[in-house]
Amino acid sequence: MDKKKIHLLFVDDERQFLESMKKRLETRDFNVVAVERGEQAIEAARKTPFDVALVDLKMPGMNGEETLKALKKEHKWMEIVILTGHGSVDSAVECTQGGAYSYLQKPCDFEQLLEVLKNAYKQKVMNKNQIEEKRMNEILKISQTTSSRDILRRLREIDAGEKT
Amino acid sequence: MEKIRVLLVDDEADFRRPIAKRLDRRGFEIHEAGSGEEALDYLEANPIDVVVLDVKMPGLNGIDTMARIKERFQGIEVILLTGHSSTEDGVEGIKQGAFDYLTKPIELTHLAGKINQATEKRRREIEKKREAEFRTKMEQQMVATERLASLGTLSTGIAHEIDNPLAIIKESAGYMRLVLNKDEMSGIPRQKDLSNAVDKIEAAVDRTRRITHQLLGFVRKQEKSFMETDLKALADETLEFLGKEARQNNIEISIEAGGERVIWSNPYEIRQVLINLVTNAIHATPAGGRITIRIEDQGEGVALTVADTGSGIPKENLDKIFEPFFTTKPPGQGTGLGLYVSRGIVGRLGGKMRVDSRVGRGTKIVIELPRCQPPVEGEITDNENICYEILNRIKGEPES
């Protein structure tokens, strides 16, 4: 965990803020892909896997809530942190309901942001491990009586079920 | 439609009362509590669907109350209300499991809408849980069936072992008959009795043989040999095979086939099932009756139906007919394995088998078989691919 770099997708329409944050984060064990629009974020996430995304709310085109939901839908393991200059209770609630890991408001202390991003990454790893364990158990449960073909069929069912 | 039961929890009666009144007028069943502790006591004794909870209360605050509600009463949805909202509290509330977090002053229509949504969510979850329980039950049943099947494997071994001494008994009985019929034996006392006893031995051996053969047929090594399977052709073959018996009993068998009737499956096994079902139908149908083999294209799959105008199956037997060794035929005529074996086969082919029967009217057995495309590139056909995909799925990687 310490040696491994965290892959971060960073979306913000303020180019200057984006550039400087990218530089600062890269000195602190992050691999950062920085984009200025929600649509580009979706594109980028389809190309490479990210651990965590840091998403601004107010952007031209696709806004932060929409970006959050689209990213969550396609990458259920990715944890997403919202960072906004225009926070409100309603949007905080909506983002959390939409699966955001955390909701931070600018200006935000850099060390605090790092802390949250790292926790989000830990959460992602933990979720993944838990699910893997659950699946292993599932397989152990059914493997005593079924062929691997049926196990696969069952797994596909479970996946389909989880999507709903 | 039942009224939605709402518990409104707020330490300020001046705020709580009017809201309770107005919600009541909108058709909710409203109960009130003045503190978190009171709310928990109330929930101990009364069923509630949704709790509307003030965050800032003396004593147990809203967040702590919610934590206890979530811990003790599964499935109750909580909506938090607050006069001093902050984004942190909002995020925290939702993460702790609140359905929503609303800021005072609240719009009554908005609150009513949220209560309805929360109830809807709860209803869906109950539904889901029920489904999951049902699935688990089904799985347990399947495991039991599989156990029986492995029992079958065991019996196969035994069946083979039994076949050898059976052959010896049969051989010896035949020899005894030969000896009994020799000239030098004519006139021995009680020859008839001896001859009858030999008959019985032979009949019993045949009966035992039939049982072992059924068992053997059930667990023949499942070398999945899937191929293009023309169900109409299989029905024709079955008819050829059993037509004579039907004609002797004055039963008319017809085949109705519509649409695409070629599927990708195992023709030998399907034929075994068909022969079994049609044989049963012949045995259950009186002279002058009719048996219909129907093949219907259902898009996703194909339905294969064997319907007879026979005596039907009494209700109390309907759930027993698929059990091994259940038979209504006189001893020595049926092994009680036919339908059990058939259902095993259909299940392995990815299909379903169901029965629809009325006493005195007849029986219909419907088999739904998947169409199963011939394997294409990337399909799960070989073990390597299967294992690879299983691994990826365990890891939760997206499919590439």
**Residues A79-94 pLDDT 10s:** 999 999 988 999 999 9
CB atoms B390 and A152 under 8 Å: yes
**Alpha carbon of A33: minimum distance to chain B alpha carbons (Å):** 21
pLDDT tens for residues B164-176?
A: 788 889 889 989 9
Q: Return the pLDDT at B237.
A: 83
Asked whether the predicted pLDDT for residue B220 surpasses 50, the reply is no
Task: Tally Cβ neighbours within 10 Å of residue A8.
Answer: 23
- Between B89, B383, B393, which is nearest A155 by CB? B393
Of residues B324 and A118, more confidence is placed in A118
Averaged pLDDT, B105-128: 91
Q: Return the pLDDT at B223.
A: 41
Task: Let me know: does B274 contact B306? Beta carbons within 8 Å.
Answer: yes
Asked whether the predicted pLDDT for residue B39 surpasses 80, the reply is yes
Q: Which two three-digit tokens encode residue B132?
A: 């999951």
- Between A102, A148, A156, which is nearest B91 by CB? A102
**Alpha carbon of B338: minimum distance to chain A alpha carbons (Å):** 23
Q: Return the pLDDT at B46.
A: 93
Which residue of chain A is at minimal alpha-carbon distance from B398?
A: A75
Residue (of B131, B135, B111, B133) closest to B123 by Cα position: B131
Asked whether the predicted pLDDT for residue B120 surpasses 50, the reply is yes
- Between B90, B150, B380, which is nearest A92 by CB? B90
Tell me: cis bond preceding B398? Omega within 30 of 0 counts: no
pLDDT tens for residues B285-338?
A: 999 999 999 999 988 889 999 999 999 999 888 888 887 777 787 765 666 777
Residue A149 touches chain B, beta carbons under 8 Å: yes
Asked whether the predicted pLDDT for residue B365 surpasses 90, the reply is yes
- Between A87, A145, A151, which is nearest B390 by CB? A151
Q: Return the pLDDT at A62.
A: 94
**Which chain A residues touch B90 with a CB distance below 8 Å?**
89-90, 92-93, 96, 103
Of residues A145 and A8, more confidence is placed in A8
Residue B85 touches chain A, beta carbons under 8 Å: yes
Residue (of B28, B86, B72) closest to B8 by Cα position: B28
Q: Return the pLDDT at B226.
A: 74
Q: What is the per-residue burial (b if ≥16 Cβ within 10 Å, else e) of A117-147?
A: bbebbebbeeebeebeeebeeebeebeebbe
Asked whether the predicted pLDDT for residue B219 surpasses 60, the reply is no
- Between A103, A135, A148, which is nearest B87 by CB? A103
Q: Return the pLDDT at B139.
A: 60
Q: Rounded to an integer, what distance in angstroms lies between the CA atom of residue B230 and that of residue B274?
A: 13
Number of CB pairs, chain A paired with chain B, less than 8 A apart: 75
Reported as a pLDDT band with limits 50, 70 and 90, residue B266 is confident
pLDDT tens for residues B268-287?
A: 778 878 888 998 999 899 99
**Alpha carbon of A157: minimum distance to chain B alpha carbons (Å):** 11
List B30's β-bridge partners, or say none.
B6
Determine the 3-state secondary structure of B102 from DSSP.
Answer: strand
Q: Return the pLDDT at B144.
A: 56
Reported as a pLDDT band with limits 50, 70 and 90, residue B221 is very low
**Alpha carbon of A52: minimum distance to chain B alpha carbons (Å):** 16
Q: Rounded to an integer, what distance in angstroms lies between the CA atom of residue A82 and that of residue B91?
A: 11
**B50-54 and A102-105 strand pairing:** unpaired
Give ∠ CA A88-A91-A96 in degrees, rounded to 5.
Answer: 125
Interface of A with B in 69-88 (CB under 8 A): 75-77, 87-88
Residue (of A11, A57, A75) closest to A37 by Cα position: A11
Reported as a pLDDT band with limits 50, 70 and 90, residue B222 is very low
**Alpha carbon of B90: minimum distance to chain A alpha carbons (Å):** 5
Reported as a pLDDT band with limits 50, 70 and 90, residue B197 is very high
pTM: 0.51
**Which chain B residues touch A142 with a CB distance below 8 Å?**
139
Of residues A33 and B324, more confidence is placed in A33
Q: Return the pLDDT at B163.
A: 78
Of residues A141 and B88, more confidence is placed in B88
The secondary structure of B221-272 as a DSSP string is ------EEEEHHHHHHHHHHHHHHHHHHTT-EEEEEE-S--EEEE-HHHHHH
Best of B99, B131, B390 to disrupt the A interface by mutation (most A CBs within 10 Å)?
B390
**Which chain A residues touch B139 with a CB distance below 8 Å?**
142
Of residues B152 and B163, more confidence is placed in B163
Q: Rounded to an integer, what distance in angstroms lies between the CA atom of residue A84 and that of residue A70?
A: 18
